[in-house]
Chain A
Amino acid sequence: MGIDSVAVIAAITMLILLLSGVPIAYSLGFTAVVLGVVAFGGLSLDKIGWTTYHLLYNQSWTPLPMFTLMACVIAQTRIGEDLYRSARNWLAAIPGGIVAASIAGQGVLAAALGASAPALITVGKVAEPELKKFGYDMGFSVGAILCGGVLGPLIPPSAIMVIYAVVANVSLGRLLMAGILPGILLACMLIGVAVVKCARNPALGGPAEKVPFKIKIKSLRNVWAVVLIMISILGSIYFGIATPTEAAAVGSVVLLIISIVAYKLRFKGLMTALTEAALLNAVLMFTIIGANLFSYVIGSSSLAEMLMGFVSNAPFAPIFIVVILMLVLLCLGFFLDGITIMLLTVPIIVPVITGLGFDPIWLGVLYVVNMEIGLITPPMAVNFFLARNIFNVKTRDLAFGMLPFLFTLIIFLFIVLSFPELATWLPNTMAGR
């Protein structure tokens, strides 16, 4: 059997297994092992044997377990709740204040967490009773908070960005910097939409209550921990003092000390955080290893070259190819998990897009936003169902409630698409360029 036909069979088998609910890592790994042996015989067994070691014995990956460690430590403390409360105290008096505070809380929390689901859980837990207390429309409010989850991986540090940076072979430090400005812009856009909608229709959620200025100032006291970590991580990367690995390591050690001293994290909580971090990290690594084995079967065929030839001879302006790519990725996001999409498409897409003269860092930011939209659009929408279960709202209410914010996200995607400088300006001013 020719290698091209093996590659086609591999792709189809893998997709059937994956969509049936076989764990993604096994769908990829099993297909690669079986069809690798069919195509290359015993040679492929050697590759399968050394992949885990060769892939992971690599400094590019080391920020990943540390970012997951930070997320798991924060989940064991009250840091997230405190963040939400101070945002709430400042924003409670404006229309839709509780929703705005939840988005702002997620934004700041994102700077220490690096993933959307934990931020959603942390903020959701404390925001839910307040939303009910002040009579907010739940579908609308949860929809806003759900879309605010996109800020998690966009504002550094970000586990997803580590994966993109390694697979696309770009500088992680630059990619992390590239997420900052779009992240701030998106937070403002989402809060803006929530406030305007609530001001026009107070039934969605009016002003909650006036908080005395003294309490506002006092509640800022709880934010310093995260701000300190954020500055230490981003500052050291931006000024070229530390590599992302070193910054992540120092950040997680500082966070641990703060958690133990100020937030009374004790042995049991620490053990839970450590085990959870190891598991979360292993879940990602599993998929990465499966995808790496699978990509080598596909990569050995001429499918990628065919695609490249097709794209470079296409009769459109290069930017249209990026637009089409984004639309294809959005559609894939309805049915597939974001990390899988990234692992399987980035090795093929990035050379094509870079060949057209675009910055792979900018493409990385677009990928992250696109993937997160996939996480909230059913049928395959982990965060959507997570939010539905945490807040106990009806699927229909949530789907309609999130529409204005989903629309905002898509507009945001097109803004970043139209103005690449938004992503590339900050990394281009970095030290050591």
Chain B
Amino acid sequence: MFKAVNRIVNFLSHYTSMLAGFLILIMAIVTTYGVIMRYVFQSPEYYSVEISLMFMVWSFVLAAAEVEKRDQHIKVDILSQLMPEKGKYFLFNIFTPIAGLIFAGTITWRSYVNAIYSLQIGEVSATVVAVPLFPVKIVVSIGYGLLCLVLLVRLVKGLISLAGGFQNINGEDEMVTPNENV
């Protein structure tokens, strides 16, 4: 059961991060199109800016889960170098996911509330195109929600290992060690 959840979460975060990359590419192409229309064809259009703003938000939230999965965050680990192995293990595999869950979980919940409110009042952007803002905002909630799932998987893995008396303490499984990406 846990393995199946793990696989689904990995699958989702992998493909949403790829989608985020595509959105950046489309942002670049659409903006270039806008420049060409303005200078070459003398006919400025107004939706390239809207699209790039929308994609700016989405490209971040859709890649957030994969950043956590690959453990690519910016970190400073001066104090942890002095800690014993077990302390380090607890900090990285139990405390960090909990801190992350409190942070990302709060954002998931509040941005969902925010998006629903936006839908109820029919909120649109204050520009000529008047883009409905509900889709922009609900994706924020979805992206952070996926991040929460990745964090939850990591926490459960940490707890299972803790219950089994630190079997994976040397990280042969998929445990996160502090210096993996350095």
Query: Are B21 and A20 touching (Cβ within 8 A)?
Result: no
Residue of A nearest to B64 (CB): A282
Other-chain contact of A24, B49, B75, B111 (Cβ < 8 Å): B75
Residues on A with beta carbons closer than 8 Å to the beta carbon of B76: 18-19, 21, 24, 335-337, 340, 380
Query: Are B27 and A29 touching (Cβ within 8 A)?
Result: no
B57 contacts chain A at the CB level, 8 A cutoff: yes
Residues on B with beta carbons closer than 8 Å to the beta carbon of A18: 76
Interface residue tally for chain A (C-beta within 8 Å):
70
Q: What's the nearest-Cβ distance from chain A to residue B130, in Å?
A: 14
Residues on A with beta carbons closer than 8 Å to the beta carbon of B114: 46, 49-50, 53
Task: Render A316-334 as a binary contact track against B, CB cut-off 8 A, 1 for contact.
Answer: 0000000000000000000
A76 contacts chain B at the CB level, 8 A cutoff: no
Interface centre among A52, A282, A379 (most CB of B within 10 A): A282
B24 contacts chain A at the CB level, 8 A cutoff: yes
Residues on A with beta carbons closer than 8 Å to the beta carbon of B67: 279, 282-283, 286
A412 contacts chain B at the CB level, 8 A cutoff: no
A61 contacts chain B at the CB level, 8 A cutoff: yes
Q: What's the nearest-Cβ distance from chain B to residue A158, in Å?
A: 17
Residues on A with beta carbons closer than 8 Å to the beta carbon of B100: 23, 26, 30
- Expressed in whole angstroms, the Cα–Cα distance for A379 and B182 within the complex equals 13
- Expressed in whole angstroms, the Cα–Cα distance for A22 and B73 within the complex equals 9
Query: Are B57 and A52 touching (Cβ within 8 A)?
Result: yes
- Say which one of A191-199, A201-209, A244-252, A303-311 lies at the interface with B: A244-252
Residues on A with beta carbons closer than 8 Å to the beta carbon of B99: 17, 22, 26-27, 30
- Expressed in whole angstroms, the Cα–Cα distance for A59 and B55 within the complex equals 11
- Interface residues of chain B, those whose CB is within 8 Å of chain A, are 17-18, 20-25, 27-32, 34-35, 39, 49, 52-54, 56-57, 59-64, 66-67, 70, 72-80, 83, 91-92, 95-96, 99-100, 102-104, 106-107, 109-111, 113-114, 136-137, 140, 144, 178, 182
6 smallest beta-carbon distances between A and B, as pairs: A49-B110, A274-B21, A23-B73, A21-B77, A249-B31, A29-B103
